[in-house]
Amino acid sequence: MEDKTKVLIVGAGFGGIALAKKLSRNKNFEVVLIDKHNYHTFQPLLYQVATGGLEPDSIAYPIRRIFRGHKNFHFRMAEVTKVLPEENTIETNIGKMDYDFLVLAMGSQSNFFNFETQKEQFMAMKTVPDALDMRSFIMQNLEKATVKMGNKHEQAIINMAIVGGGPTGVELAGSLAEMKHYVLPKDFPELDTSKLNIYLFEAAPRLLAAMSEDSSKASLKYLKKLGVHVYLNAMVSGYDGKNITLKSGEKFQSETVIWTAGVKGNVIEGINKKAIQAGNRMKVNRYNQIESHENIFAIGDVALMFTERYPKGHPQVAPTAIQHGEHLAKNLIRKMNGKQMLQFKYFDKGSMATVGRLKAVVDLPGYKFQGMFAWWVWMFVHLMSLVGFRNKVIAFFDWSYNYFTYDRPLGLIIRPFRRK
C-alpha cells in the first residue's frame, strides 16, 4: 500500500471510530487504528455496568468486528509512548510506526486535581475495568458489613459517596439509590439497608452545571426523592480512606468514594508543549490541526478548539468527538484532492441525563423536558447509539427485565478488587 496515504489514529473512542469508518471507505487511504484495548467502549453507560444494570459485553464491542469488510483498515493493539514529529513516526510498545497524517484521539482520564497523589483511594469510572472494580468493591463491602453488624466501622463500610454532580455523578447516584431500595433488601435481608447513606458532593451551586436551570432543579428533586443526600457548594478538601472532609469542616464516613468531578486529556510525549493548554487538552485550529504540527491532528476530548461561541472549547462529550472525526475525514479527503479544508462548526444536539426509573432530564435545542417522557427519550437515544445489533438487543432485554422486576443481575464478585 505504498501508493496510499497512511493515516494513524490513536484511540478507538467515539472520535477515532467515526474518523476510521469514513476514511477507510476511501481507496486512497490506508487507515491504522491503534488502541491499548481491542474493543470500543460506550462510556455513557459505564455506570450501569458498575451498578449491575448491564454486563460489560453490552457496552463494549470488538474493534475488528466493527471494521469487517473495510479493506483499507488495520488495527493494532498497542500503547503509544511517544510522537516523533520530525520523523513522522510514533513509538509504541510493539515498535515504531510511520505516518503521513497522525490523528490523536486518546480521550480523557479522571482529573483528581489536588488529590492526584491520593487518587488510588478513590474509585474512578473511565473504563470497563474501572466499572467492574467498582461493582466488586461495592459488593465486597456489603458482604463485609453482614459480618460486622454493630461494629463502629460498619457505617464507613456501607456508605457510598460520589464527588462531582455532573451527568455521570447524577446518573450514578440515582442508580445506587435504586439498588439500595429495590435490590439489596432482597439479596441482603440480614443487612439494615436504611443505614446505607448515599452522598453526592458538588462544589458548584447546582447540579448539572452545563445543562439548563430547569434540568438542574429537576435532577435535585429526583435524587432527594430517592433518598440521596445532596450537598451543593460542597468542596471536598480531604479524604483518608474512611473519612471525607469538606472545606466547610463537615465530615462523612465512607470507604467507597467515587470520583466524577472532572477530566483531563490524555497527552502523549513529543507534542509541542505550547500546544498543551488547560485541562491537558491540545490546542487545535478550526481544522483540528495541532499548533506547530501541520500533519498532526487532535479530535474529541483531547482537542481544545477556541471559537466565539465556545471560548473554553467544545464540551467533552461523545457528539463532539463524533462530529470532529467525521469532519476531519472529509477534510483529509479534500486535502488529498488538492482542495481547501473546511472549518469545523459544532452542532449542539443537546444534553440529557437519567436519574432513575422514569426520571430523566433532557435539554434539546429549543426544547427542555423532564420526567417519564425524557426517560424514554434518553433510553431510545442510548440504545440506538450502542455499537452492534447484539448489544442493542441485550441492553434492551436487560432494561426491560429491570423495568418490570425492579431487579438487576447484581452480586457476582468475579475478580475481588484490592486497592494498590
Helix (H) or strand (E) holding 264: strand 263-265
Rounded Cα–Cα distance for residues 126 and 390 (Å): 23
Rounded Cα–Cα distance for residues 60 and 43 (Å): 9
- Where helices occur in 270-337 by DSSP H, the ranges are 318-336
Closest by Cα among 396, 361, 394 to 377: 361
Closest by Cα among 156, 176, 155 to 230: 176
171 is catalytic: yes
From the list 154, 171, 178, 202, the catalytic residue is 171
3-state secondary structure of 363: strand
Torsion of CA 211, 220, 166, 205, to 10 degrees: 80
* CB of 297 closer than 8 Å to CB of 103: yes
- Where helices occur in 268-371 by DSSP H, the ranges are 318-336
What is the identity of the amino acid at 125?
M
Nearby residues of 233 by Cβ (< 8 Å), 6 or more positions away: 202, 203, 204, 205
- Where helices occur in 121-265 by DSSP H, the ranges are 128-146, 154-158, 167-178, 184-187, 213-225
Report the catalytic residues.
Answer: 171
